[in-house]
């Protein structure tokens, strides 16, 4: 598999999002997905302390401990674990990293990410604490998530001569192109790696969801609820169908189009798609093979403008 850079880190162009571990998947299900990912050439594993209330990190720690030097582990902090564990104040940053190191069974984290901005804490204070972690060797690179372009610029200024964010992780897909409104340009100006989450729009860009049909029982969007209302819109399903028809006309699948299109963006370092089965992992890992030409990108843009 191709590799790309996040600061000093070399990562697989397709990574594995680990938010299913400890929630939809127990330890044995997680083990099956992780082993398949390694066999497929995936070296980048993205988790967070909040996933499964720490179980995702615990599962990864047990499964990856014996091959720690073969993988790049990214985790996040800042969202509420409980009323006493949340935010980005320096004292909590120091506590959160120790908790994650323990759960991950490692003495360093490759990419440590602030999960969302903390309005109660000046970013320069958080960056100073993260800089301490980098200097101590407990963290190799730092990143952020849910940051806007102005917040990225403010963080760059606040870092001064200290460690700067190497990456930003925001939602981005053919169905949600909000980062094109400024964040991607900020990444290119600052040399930041961009990590798109929900790159497959919770499965809508795999082709398994269709207009007029119920969501497959095993899918994340089965049973309705807020997630289904957000992703299973008439507009999203219509665009996905149009994009799938375009992909098929090129001898490709919708999944290949969704992943390869993201990898065509210069700032994107790794497409971190979640998976709940080995089959999904293998399909995701193999999907980034289409080198999309400029004229094809223009056609894809036009196709994605379809309206219901």
**What is the C-alpha separation between 151 and 12, in angstroms, rounded?**
27
Q: Compute CA 182 distance to the chain's CA centroid, rounded to the nearest angstrom.
A: 19
Q: What does the alpha-carbon distance between residue 99 and residue 146 come to, in Å, rounded to a whole number?
A: 22
State how far the Cα of 221 lies from the Cα of 144, in Å rounded to an integer. 27
Residue 236 in contact with residue 254, Cβ under 8 Å? no
Tokens of 239: 């665009």
Catalytic residue among 51, 92, 172, 198: 51
The label of the residue with tokens 């990590």 reads: 195
Which stretches of the chain are DSSP H helices?
Answer: 27-39, 55-64, 90-104, 123-136, 149-159, 183-190, 225-231, 234-249, 254-263, 278-286, 294-303
92 belongs to the catalytic site: no
Could you write out the DSSP letters of every residue in 180-201? GGTHHHHHHHHT-EEEEESTTT
- Class of residue 233 by CB neighbours under 10 A (exposed 0-12, middle 13-18, buried 19+): middle
Task: Please enumerate in sequence order all residues whose Cβ is within 8 A of that of 241, keeping only pairs 6 or more positions apart, or say none.
Answer: 210, 211
Residue 275: Cβ-neighbour burial (10 angstroms; 0-12, 13-18, 19+): buried
CA 250 remoteness from chain centre: 27
Residues labelled catalytic: 51
């Amino acid at each position: 598999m191709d590799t790309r850079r996040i600061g000093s880190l070399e990562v697989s162009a397709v990574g594995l999002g680990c938010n299913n571990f400890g929630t939809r998947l127990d330890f044995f299900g997680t083990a099956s997905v992780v082993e398949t990912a390694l066999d497929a050439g995936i070296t980048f594993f993205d988790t967070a302390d909040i996933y499964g209330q720490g179980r995702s990190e615990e599962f990864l720690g047990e499964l990856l401990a014996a091959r720690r030097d073969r993988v790049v582990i990214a985790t996040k902090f800042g969202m509420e674990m409980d009323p006493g564990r949340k935010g980005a104040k320096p004292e909590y940053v120091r506590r959160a990293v120790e908790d994650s190191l323990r759960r991950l069974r490692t003495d360093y984290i490759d990419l440590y990410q602030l999960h969302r901005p903390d309005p109660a804490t000046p970013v320069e204070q958080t960056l100073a604490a993260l800089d301490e972690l980098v200097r101590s060797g407990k963290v190799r690179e730092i990143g952020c998530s849910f940051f806007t372009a102005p917040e990225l610029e403010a963080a760059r200024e606040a870092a001064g001569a200290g460690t700067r964010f190497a990456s930003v992780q925001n939602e981005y897909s053919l169905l949600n192109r909000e980062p094109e409104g400024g964040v991607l340009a900020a990444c290119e100006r600052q040399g930041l790696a961009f990590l798109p989450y929900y790159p497959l729009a919770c499965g809508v860009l795999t082709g398994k969801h269709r207009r007029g049909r119920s969501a497959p029982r095993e899918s994340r969007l089965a049973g309705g609820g807020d997630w289904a209302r957000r992703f299973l819109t008439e507009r999203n399903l219509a665009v996905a169908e149009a994009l799938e028809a375009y992909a098929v006309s090129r001898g490709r699948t919708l999944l290949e189009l969704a992943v390869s299109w993201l990898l065509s963006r210069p700032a994107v370092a790794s497409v971190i798609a979640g998976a709940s089965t080995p089959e999904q992992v293998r399909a995701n890992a193999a999907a980034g093979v289409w080198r999309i030409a400029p004229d094809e990108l223009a056609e894809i843009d036009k196709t994605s403008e379809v309206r219901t």
